[in-house]
Amino acid sequence: MCDTLCLLGDGVTLFAKNSDRPVTEPQVVEAHGRRAPGGIVRTQYLELDDTGAAATLLSRPLWLWGAEHGVNEHGVAIGNEMVNTVDDPALVPPALIGMDLVRLGLERARSAAEAVDVMTSLLERHGQGGMGDEVHALAYWSSFLVADPVSAWVLETSGRRWAARPVVGGGAISNRLTLRADWTRASPDVAPGTDVDSWRDPATPTGFADGRLAASRAFVAGRPASGASRADPRAAVAHLRDHGSGPWGAPGSGGPVVDPPTAVLADGTGVTVCMHVRDFEATTASMVAELHAGRSGPARAWVALGNPCASVFVPVLAPAPDTAGARPRARARPRAGAPAPIPGALGREPMAARFAAVGRAVEAEARWRRCAPCSHPSRTRCGTRPTRSAPVPPGGRRSRRAPSRRWSPGSTSWPASGSARRADGPGKATGRIAAMANDGIENPMLPLEGADEADGVERILVVTAHPDDVDFGVAGSVATWVKAGIGVAYCIVTDGDAGGSDRSVSRADMAVLRREEQRAAAAEVGVTEVVFLGYPDGRLTPSIELRRDISRQIRRVQPQRLVCQSPERMWDRIGASHPDHLAAGEAAVSSVYPDARNPFAHPELLEEGLEPHAVPEIWLTAAPTPNRAVDITDTFDTKIAALRRHRSQVGEGEWLDERLRSWAEDGGRRAGLPAGRMAETFQVVLTP
């Protein structure tokens, strides 16, 4: 999911792209110097003879070799889009993917036409195939917009087939085929007069792309008509922030903030140029570049990470022919007094996480603004519900195993008034965004679990290492879910025999006692199903046997949500990262993906009559990077009552209320709740 456009002027081209990717996938911006020919270049899935490389500025998902978009030292810019055709990309072996072709075109071409030659010759020789979306396990074909200072091309592909035509004046592409019989170049297997639209899969709706493509074409058609030879880059930034009502938020301009859509409908309404499809896909990186003919210095570009409407477009210098060196320019030391070509921090994952955190914080704050239809705070759930989303993901094709619940932006919305949630100029931001971007807040406000998220969740399985872990970590949330009518089951991995400090109690007796305590605690929150796996306390490892036993419970319970401890260590709260917790979390995550859904994993489970089951989502507790919160203010006393049942561990428990209240109120603050309200926090992971 992406949108790319260009405007051709008198010796200058304006190029702009939004890269829409899974919301949890970090993207980085890097500058790479020239590379001499010789040896092998390793793309995502292939090894090719290395013909050398021009200096490039690239924006790429961290796990990919290739790039979503970029510009090279010769002023060539390329961006790609996912497209769906009658050819199934899942049926071909891994080869070159669209992002590989973007990077190879930039590395090997001095003009847009030459880039098309490079990309199509590689496509014909090596083919196209392989997963391009790791989170949703998607393989797909690509279309491309290729531009230089004086020309541009649209290139569309389906497997090894391709067709291309030059752009006149300006053009735009999105996640659908746009060529008809107007192409001027094509692969040998494309007959003259072929309508490229005939490659389109008729079973795949195009509504998710049509609105965005129309918006980009309208922007291109509405370019300045007062004798201007080029569009202002600020206007391109405003377009990349379009939430469906037109460009807004041009750097340096005033005006109100425009809310993003609150729901995605079957006709594609709600999927906008600046994308906010909650928990599924969002704009994660953007670029605007000015490509000048005959300029010896570097091209000007502006890059943003995260949602462009809540991010900052950072000015960078694309590589220049006279200064491109052999080392990546992000690491090169600039000349004295010269501007740095690109901030090196943009090439590291923490910066992507910081920009993503800004976007999440603004979204979380917006979710608490007052409900316009009824003037009640949204947290009262007055009955005004957003329109439910369409059951088909943007782009038309589901992942190989779509979640059973519908995805939707849900209650995600933005402030209609107040301080602007946008950049006021290159490198600057105003209000709360500036403080977060510059101060590096690690724990921004977390969105609360919305009522729409519970729709379709009938069963939840909670897996923890020890008796009492579930009550310290998530008992308030469990009580909330049980009150909402959701069935919750516990799976306790160890027998807890290493707990407590009373040496007069035998370890065997301690194990029996702790099981009794956990059953009593479960009853306090309304849970009646508790399974103990009986692994030894303090010696837990994420063994294949443990994965099998957790997979057995997943197949038996068939939950739509699994809650477990995070397998990542929290250095600021080391007590939450007991080795048994980490091991149980790792085993549980591995059981969800891939074990429980794979019929060939643990074949003895099939012999027991337990069919494979795919869990759509994992909720990690005690996670270093939480992204969701559950308000437990109304169930906090129930949580304390459950913890008091663990007398062998907490004694009389007189300290529980104060300590747990402090933790929960901290969670409430991070969720943007009013003072005194409490929350438990999670990192939610959607499975492929």
Residues belonging to the active site: 2
How many CB atoms are located within 10 Å of the residue 600 CB? 9
Please, are residues 237 and 290 in contact by the beta-carbon 8 Å criterion? no
Radius of gyration of the chain (CA): 27
375: left (phi over 0), alpha (psi -120 to 50) or beta: left
At residue 606, what are phi and psi to the nearest 5 degrees? -65, -35
Paired residues of 528 in beta bridges:
none
What DSSP state is assigned to residue 635? G
CB 281 within 8 A of CB 1: yes
Which is nearest to 27 in space by CA: 477, 301, 353, 258? Answer: 353
Beta bridge partners of 139: 131
CA distance 605 to 426: 58
Question: Cβ contacts of residue 310 below 8 Å, gap of 6+?
Answer: 358, 359, 362, 363, 421, 422, 433
d(CA 641, CA 524): 7
Cα distance from N-terminal residue to C-terminal residue, the chain: 17
The C-alpha angle with vertex 523 and arms to 517 and 529, in degrees rounded to 5, equals: 90
Q: Is the dihedral of CA 387, 388, 394, 397 positive or negative?
A: negative
23 three-class SS: coil
Residue 71 CA, distance from chain mean position: 24
Q: Residue 283: which residues within 8 A CB-CB, separation 6 or more?
A: 18, 19, 20, 240, 274, 275, 276, 306, 307, 308
CA distances from residue 430 to 9, 28, 56, 142, 200 in whole angstroms, order as listed = 32, 23, 31, 37, 44
Residue 293 sits at the vertex; the CA angle it makes with 287 and 294, to the nearest 5 degrees, is 130
Residue 114, classified by CB atoms within 10 Å of its CB into exposed (0-12), middle (13-18) or buried (19+), is middle
Asked if 276 and 264 touch (Cβ cutoff 8 Å), the reply is no
Q: What are phi and psi of 481, to 5 degrees?
A: -65, -40
- φ/ψ of 524, rounded to 5, equals -60, -35
Judge whether 16 and 29 are in contact, CB under 8 Å.
no
Longest dimension (CA), the chain: 91
Quick one: which of 142, 137, 139 has its CA closest to 90? 139
CA distance linking residue 625 with residue 684, whole number of Å: 10
- Residue 444, C-beta contacts closer than 8 angstroms, at least 6 positions apart: 357, 358, 360, 361, 364, 436, 670
The DSSP line for 383-442 is: S--PPPPPSS-TTSPPPSS--SSPP--TT----SSSS--S-SBTTB--HHHHHHHHHT-S
What is the token pair recorded at 640?
């304390």
- Residue 316, token pair as written in the block: 């960078």
Question: What's at 98, amino acid-wise?
Answer: G
